[in-house]
Amino acid sequence: MQPKILIGCPTSNYKEYCFEEYLKSINNLTYNNFDILLVDNSKKDDYYNKIKDKIPTIRDKWFENARDRIIHSRNILREKILRENYDYFLSLEQDVIPPKDVIERLLKHNKKIIGGVYFKLGSFNELIPLVWLNIDQRYSRRAILDEINGDLLEVATCGLGCILIHKSVLEKVKFRYLKEKKAFDDVWFCEDARENGFKVYCDTSIKCKHMIKGMDWSKIKK
């Protein structure tokens, strides 16, 4: 039996620019035992009404703060996974386009938490991996491009844009953030998982397209 996987993420009208490419990537996945669910937390119903017949989507409430919206929607996905006894959650953000065999490649490592790699652009248009490596028990640093060389790495944090999480982790860890800190929930999820005895890994051979150029971050209240 192949593990049963729920693929999903929070979404909103801010991600409309990349919806069609995301939908195409989901349809191209070669793994054949998964369900997909998006959780729309837009302020209005327009985006939900546009996408709900193309991809399974439920409507969530809207919060003023973007981080509140994101964690509320992500915890809806967490609850569905635990309630319906999925084996894994593939957190796949709508602006992240993985290789079509991403699930098979992540599963083969038999890890409880393992991500692929995606990047942002630096000030000089250089690629910056969204992966942080441990320095010691208290500090971490961002990985450099030369370290994304195809190896399997144990990491401090990797983004929730493309990460496979076993249900045993979700039984112990909820998505959250700290209002006094700038970080989003990916940082706190990885930290909480490690505090509960889990290790976080990244397969650096899995490189995903990150469609960030269409996103207007100035409209997001963090």
Lookup: tokens for 172: 């112990």
124: helix, coil or strand? Answer: coil
Every domain of the chain and the residues it spans: 5-219
Predicted confidence at residue 138, as pLDDT, reads 74
pTM of structure: 0.93
Predicted confidence at residue 162, as pLDDT, reads 98
CATH classification of 5-219 is 3.90.550.10, yes or no?
Answer: yes
d(CA 116, CA 217): 23
Question: In this model, does residue 56 exceed pLDDT 50?
Answer: yes
Predicted confidence at residue 9, as pLDDT, reads 98
d(CA 68, CA 129): 25
- For the stretch 118-138, pLDDT in tens is 999 888 888 899 999 988 777
